Amino acid sequence: MQEVVALVGGTIQGDAAQEISGVNGIKFAQAGDITYFTDKKLQTKLETCKASAVIVSAPLELDMAQVIHPNPPLAFAKILAIIRPNPRLEPGISPEAVVSENVTLGKNVTLSPFVYLGKNVRVGDDTVLHPGTVVYDGCQIGNQVTLHANVTLYHDTVIGNRVILHAGVVIGVDGFGYILDEQSRHFKINQVGRVVIEDDVEVGSNACIDRAAFGETVVKTGVKIDNLVQVGHNCEIGEHSLLVAQVGVAGSCKLGHHVILAGQVGVADHVTLGDQIIVAAQSGVSKSLDKPGMYGGFPAAPAIPWKKSLATFSKLPELSRKIRALEKRLKAIENQ
Strand partners, 203: 165, 225
Span 212-219, average pLDDT: 97
For residue 333, the model assigns a pLDDT of 87
| β-strand pairing of 284-285 with 277-279 | unpaired
- pLDDT score of 308: 82
More confident residue, 245 or 46: 245
The top-scoring range by mean pLDDT among 3-12, 57-66, 309-318 is: 57-66
CA dist 202 and 218 (Å) reads 14
- pTM of the full predicted structure? 0.90
Average pLDDT, the chain: 94
Residues 247/253/254/256 CA torsion (nearest 10 deg): -30
Classify the C-alpha dihedral 143-149-151-156 as positive or negative.
positive
Alpha-carbon distance 33 to 53, whole Å? 7
Within the chain, residue ranges assigned H as helices are 2-8, 43-47, 72-83, 303-313, 316-335
More confident residue, 63 or 96: 96
The residue ranking higher by pLDDT, 262 or 21, is 262
**pLDDT score at 120:** 98
Task: Report which of residues 305 and 134 the model is more confident about.
Answer: 134
Q: How confident is the model at residue 14 (pLDDT cuts 50, 70, 90)?
A: confident
**pLDDT range class, residue 202, cuts 50, 70, 90:** very high
Please determine, for residue 1, whether its predicted confidence score (pLDDT) is greater than 80.
Answer: no
The mean pLDDT value for 94-113 works out to 97
Say which of 233, 257, 258, 270 is annotated catalytic: 233
Q: What's the pLDDT band for 331 if we cut at 50, 70, 90?
A: confident
Q: What is the pLDDT at residue 226?
A: 98
Closest CA to 249 of 179, 312, 292, 223: 223
What is the rounded distance in angstroms from the CA atom of residue 226 to the CA atom of residue 147?
Answer: 15
Our answer to whether residue 155 is catalytic in this structure is no
pLDDT in tens, 227-276: 999 999 999 999 999 999 999 999 999 999 999 999 999 999 999 999 99
17 pLDDT tier (thresholds 50, 70, 90): confident
Confidence (pLDDT) at 151: 98
pLDDT at 40: 85
Q: Does residue 149 carry a pLDDT above 90?
A: yes
